[in-house]
Structure 1
């Protein structure tokens, strides 16, 4: 389920978590109170055991607003379409992270251009009454944003 541990996008986010805040703002249009920062947290907070396997998101972050509450974001970077993971595991990652960290949580999928529509599909999580929609950015857009380098550094880690 998880991306390769040497995935350059995941490595970039681990080394420069401030990129996550910039991506949420620039690529997804989030209006974030400033200053805000992203901090890596234990990915074990997304871990679950099912069908004889252990599953976990690729990364997890706390999004902190100075003087405000934190929110949580699980990150997945699938190398290929995985219907079962998207339909069953992704909502669990966000729910477990929120439960274990004590606050609102979501999931960001980092995918190739061809998989954006697939990853953004709303998932019915039980009798159609509860739904979950992942946030999605492309690998190329995230890498281009990192290469741009001219972002406002008042957004710090």
Structure 2
């Protein structure tokens, strides 16, 4: 029987892992301006939307998640710029129920270190889990 790869990463802070794909800027945005009967071309730099991954969901499971915190709001905004559907949950049972309902999408699961053991037991049951990312304040040994 093939063994499923463990899909967990450890990092020291939430902020470090909030990388997003670089957006594409271009100098090719051109506006035609009519000025005193003469046509002028003005080149400006615009920023296109970041690539959004379709058919994926990010679930962030953290029992102490404070959605009123500005840093957390910014992080969620950055996550949504990568994947349209970003769900925040504080309870493992909510997470399990949500995972059971997902049929056609893949899931990036972000968990706090307090859920490591529970999620490790469920990993093989939920084939929709693409990756599991673990955030904690200390380095963990696996």
TM-score (structure 2 length as normaliser): 0.34
TM-score (structure 1 length as normaliser): 0.32
Higher relative contact order (CA 8 A, sep 6+): 2
Which structure is higher in strand share?
A: 2
Which structure is higher in helix share?
A: 1
